[in-house]
Amino acid sequence: MIDKLTITNFKAFAKAEIPLAPYTLLSGLNSSGKSTVLQALALLRQADDASMLVDYTLIDERGSSGSLPLNGELVELGTGQDILHEDYAADQGRVPEIGFEVVVDDFSHTILARYGREDDLLPLLRGLDPDMVHVDPDWDDEGGTAFTLFNRGFQYLRADRINPAVTYPRSHEMAVRRGFLGTRGEYTIDFLRHNQDETVTATALHHPAASHRLPDQLEAWMGEICPGVKISTAAIEQTDLVRLGFEFARKGHLRSNVRRPTNVGFGLTYVLPVVVACLTARPGAMILLENPEAHVHPQGQSALAGLTCAAAAAGAQVIVETHSDHILNGVRLAVKREQIPADDVRLLYFHRKDDGIIDIVNPTIGPDGMLSEWPQGFFDEWDRSLDRLLD
């Protein structure tokens, strides 16, 4: 598991140390650096997927340490000028360096890239030891490397997820071979189509109202957001497209006709990839989630918080960016109900001070779900609004 990420001269941070846990909740005002943390991790994964993160000088004499591809499948960050921290001060004409330090099991690993203003492929001055990041091809649910970021089962769902549509893309490479849902969740429907007979093996993820089959668990958890919802997927023959359908049923009533996502509430389609990512969480993998609460009502948000905690309890490392107090309180309830240990949860509040420097506050959560402190701006708007109403 990654215990700490240090970011240097990258986007919102001149330098920041971000402690991580099996479950990490990132919160704060807009443009305070939360997405920068997720993008930093996604950038490193993107480089590793492209076989560019390894320091080849450690294994041969090529004299190359690889590169950081700023634009790719996971993130599209532009060029060097778009990612260099704005307050970087040149030191006697030195070329700026963009760095990431990852601490895993008390071992520190540094990735250092040379800045180029117009470059979208930054050469590495220092990369990772291949023996530390390469995953054994026989890796299974019981193994993998300590680098959760580079293990199989990685998922990164950005805030701009799939919208209700008539069709969605079909890809055997993504949905079957890699089991990747896509950064927008665009391959989720094809993934479900290929995994109708799979089971959810982790007890922590089991919804008590359904069998252990993935489709049944999916509908049970989606039912926390929209009771009675049923999900159907189908390939459109001789195309690279699949179709998603929703049905609705109430106890003692017939099901509705299958409805297109475009004729159903926006939130169901938007949250579907999040639920699938959590239910298919693999031990030793990493799941990055931006705003899982978007377009979901408060009760559903609380249920989603419990599900994301269950994914961490099942062995994945989960990092969630959120603006929802319902997500926070759902996590607190999961701790109180002993669904996840308090020590496995880290809460990080990002606050930009008047001088522009971002301060990261770390309230701790106790076994009773209570917090050690409530920093100003940390999910306190309801209390402040109530005070004004009662004034």
* CA dist list (Å): 248 to 16, 223, 225, 294: 47, 10, 12, 22
Whether residue 202 is contained in a domain is answered as no
**DSSP 8-class letter at 96:** P
- Is 369 inside a domain boundary? yes
Please name the helix (run of DSSP H) or strand (run of DSSP E) that holds residue 148, with its range, or none. Answer: none
The residues pairing with 149 across neighbouring beta strands, listed in sequence order, are none
Q: Which residues of the chain have pLDDT under 50?
A: 59, 135-143
- What's residue 254's pLDDT? 58
- Which range of residues forms the domain containing residue 39? 1-149+339-391
The DSSP letter of residue 208 is T
User: How many structural domains are present in the chain?
Assistant: 1
b/e map 114-131, b = 16+ CB within 10 Å: bbbeebbbbebbebbeee
The alpha carbon of residue 245 and the mean position of all alpha carbons in its chain are separated, in whole angstroms, by 26
What per-residue confidence (pLDDT) applies to 357? 85
> 348 with 317: CB under 8 angstroms?
no
Domain annotation covers residue 183 = no
pLDDT of residue 380: 76
Q: Is 322 a member of any domain?
A: no
| 255 lies in some domain | no
**Position 241 in a domain:** no
